[in-house]
């Protein structure tokens, strides 16, 4: 239906580590996505938060354990890359040129402004949000008075953490230019720089 409406940039979400889910289930779901020829897929591991209904019902015990989750995740990465959807972030895969520009903005600390109840912002090196209260927001003479300060954001630690989520990794030249970080402190000793023999990739025998 989306394609008939002229929309080609389509993304699908996939969930992993569901109760009773097997590798065959995952590959079947991924094959469905591939057959639809979508250019982008986001794949997330189910995380059961403490105190939620899933947690109280002991759904966690029905889900694959961590070792099996790791295996499923690795097989998913290989399957998608085999079909031309390259992993560019921990949970995101795309064909070249279809990476999510919206999410890349967050991961690269591009400033953004969110307006309305529950909206979050990162602007001028600061983070703030509005409470999840629509009536209060609508009734306020000055909605900006409802803004809640979340403190500073965008320091080097955050920059490094977010960049390491990406396949492209941490660019030391950028780190030095933006934060004055001495990039040499991150370089391995000379002996460690010698390139070892190529390790077998998890996808080599896919």
Average pLDDT over all residues of the chain: 90
pTM exceeds 0.85, yes or no:
no
Least confident range of 60-64, 119-123, 156-160: 60-64
Reply yes or no on whether the pLDDT at 199 is more than 60: no
pLDDT score of 58:
79
In the chain, the percentage of residues whose pLDDT exceeds 70 is: 93
Q: 79-116 pLDDT, tens per residue?
A: 999 999 999 999 999 999 999 999 999 999 999 999 99
Least confident range of 21-25, 46-50, 90-94: 46-50
The two structure tokens encoding residue 53: 């209904």
- Comparing 196 with 30, the larger pLDDT belongs to 30
Reply yes or no on whether the pLDDT at 41 is more than 70: yes
Q: 181-192 pLDDT, tens per residue?
A: 887 877 777 766
């Amino acid at each position: 239906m989306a394609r008939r409406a002229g929309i080609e940039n389509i993304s699908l979400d996939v969930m992993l580590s569901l109760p009773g889910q097997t590798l065959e289930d995952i590959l079947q779901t991924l094959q469905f996505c591939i057959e639809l020829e979508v250019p982008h897929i986001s794949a997330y591991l189910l995380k059961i938060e403490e105190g939620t209904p899933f947690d109280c019902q002991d759904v966690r015990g029905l889900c694959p354990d961590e070792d099996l989750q790791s295996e499923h995740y690795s097989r998913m990465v290989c399957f998608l890359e085999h079909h031309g959807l390259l992993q560019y972030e921990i949970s995101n895969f795309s064909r070249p040129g279809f990476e999510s520009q919206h999410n890349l903005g967050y991961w690269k600390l591009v400033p953004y402004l969110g307006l309305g109840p529950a909206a979050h912002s990162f602007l001028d090196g600061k983070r703030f949000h509005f409470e999840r209260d629509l009536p209060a927001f609508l009734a306020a003479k000055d909605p900006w008075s409802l803004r809640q300060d979340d403190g500073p954001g965008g320091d080097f630690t955050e920059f490094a953490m977010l960049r390491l989520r990406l396949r492209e990794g941490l660019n030391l030249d950028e780190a030095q230019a933006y934060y004055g970080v001495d990039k040499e402190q991150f370089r391995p000793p000379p002996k460690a720089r010698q390139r070892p023999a190529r390790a077998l990739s998890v996808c080599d025998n896919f």
